[in-house]
Amino acid sequence: MTKVCIIGDVGHFSYAVRAAQSSDSLCISAVSDGAERMGCEKAFKAVSECNPSAKQYADYIEMLDSEKPDIAVVNPCCAYNAQVSIECMRRGIHVFSEKPAAVTLPQLETLREAYRESGVVFSTMMAIRYTPHFAAAKRAVESGAVGEIRLMNAQKSYRLGKRGGMYLDRRLYGGTIPWVGSHAIDWLYWFSGKRFLEVYAQHSSIANRGTGDLEVSAVCGFKMEDEVCATVSIDFLRPDLAPSHDDDRLRAVGSTGVIEVRGGKVYLINENGEQTLENAEPVNIFEEFVKAVEGKPSNAVSAEDSFYVTEACIRARESADAGKVIKF
């Protein structure tokens, strides 16, 4: 039996809960508050429904030392992801972390060093990689459907809704580019296989409806290897009456075709004409992480990808703050 503990409930702990509900080999034994002391009631309620004997701790260090889990699901406020992950790594506990893995470059370097010394498996919750439409688009690109990627445009658009807690203070949530934009920045790297060379970004908190420091619009322009051009558009301005909470899009322009992901579907046009591709089967990101922990073949997001995309997000936010081009 693989023992799992959850720390904090700011992020997407539900990936682990859903996996445990459908598995006889996973047990979520306990939930604790995160380092920021903002509670864990949502997570505890969800875990209790699948494991009535689960415990609740006020202190995550006490929980780690008492429960000695195999895996920790780390999702406190973003500013504490790295700190909590490092405490887990020092105890030899595998870490499934909310993104971004860190919110400053010094944090990230300390996290990388702890990982190198730990021997554990580390991954971040880049779950959109596993959605049926994005997985299908990636599979088509890998098959050569659009040739060599030359340009990409990615979009993350969310409803703002009513947000409190960490969203009011950027010191806690780390900025909209790392928090929301991390998915889109990950797509650029994942689809193209090219590294980032420089970025120029902008962001703004105007029109955030009184939500503290929350930046509700942002744009990033990346120069990538081999002169690949890429942009990311991020906003919390999707109308409240929109038919879905989010509107995720990716357009990848290749040397022989164009592929677009929008509205949960994949559209391809190349020398064979225009077609709508069949979506892939859904995959649970936490189940892939557990496979990696068990040493089985897995599509879990690697620690290296997690750290590199985190670095790109932090540098993009720094560019927006400074109003200048940041080189990698």
Residue 36: what pLDDT? 75
Residue 11's pLDDT band, with cuts at 50, 70 and 90, is confident
Half-sphere exposure of 67 (CA within 13 A, CB side): 28
* The two structure tokens encoding residue 156: 């993350």
Q: Which fold has domain 128-282+299-327?
A: Dihydrodipicolinate Reductase; domain 2 (3.30.360)
Q: In angstroms, rounded to a whole number, what is the distance separating the alpha carbons of residues 107 and 101?
A: 9
Of the listed ranges 33-37, 169-173, 230-234, 268-272, the least confidently predicted one is: 33-37
Q: What are the tens digits of pLDDT across the range 42-85?
A: 999 999 998 999 999 999 999 999 999 999 999 999 999 999 99
In this prediction, residue 254 carries a pLDDT of 98
Place of tokens 């879990």: 300
- Give pLDDT tens digits for 88-117: 999 999 999 999 999 999 999 999 999 999
Write down the domain spans for the chain: 2-120, 128-282+299-327
Task: Kindly report, residue by residue over 290-319, the tens digit of the pLDDT.
Answer: 999 999 999 999 999 999 999 999 999 999
Using alpha carbons, list the distances in angstroms from residue 189 to 56, 76, 85, 136, 194: 38, 26, 24, 16, 6
Q: Is the pLDDT of residue 37 over 80?
A: no
Helices (H), the chain: 14-21, 41-50, 60-67, 81-90, 105-118, 132-142, 170-173, 176-179, 181-192, 285-293, 303-322
pLDDT at residue number 104: 98
DSSP assignment of 5-74 equals EEE-SSS-THHHHHHHHT-SSEEEEEEE--TT----HHHHHHHHHH-TT-EEES-HHHHHHHH--SEEEE
Mean pLDDT of 218-246: 97
pTM recorded for the entire structure: 0.96
- Which residues are CB-contacts of 248 (< 8 A; sequence separation ≥ 6)? 128, 134, 155, 156, 157, 183, 184, 261, 262
* 23-33 mean pLDDT: 95
More confident residue, 278 or 164: 278
Query: Looking at residue 35, what is its pLDDT?
Result: 77
Average pLDDT of the segment spanning 17-28: 94
Query: What b-and-e string marks burial along 36-51, b requiring 16 or more CB atoms within 10 Å of the CB?
Result: bebebeebbebbeebb
Q: Is it the case that residue 285 has pLDDT exceeding 90? A: yes
Closest CA to 235 of 256, 208, 212: 208
As a CATH number, domain 2-120 is 3.40.50.720
- How do strand 55-57 and strand 26-32 relate by DSSP bridges? parallel
Residue 165 has pLDDT above 90, yes or no: no
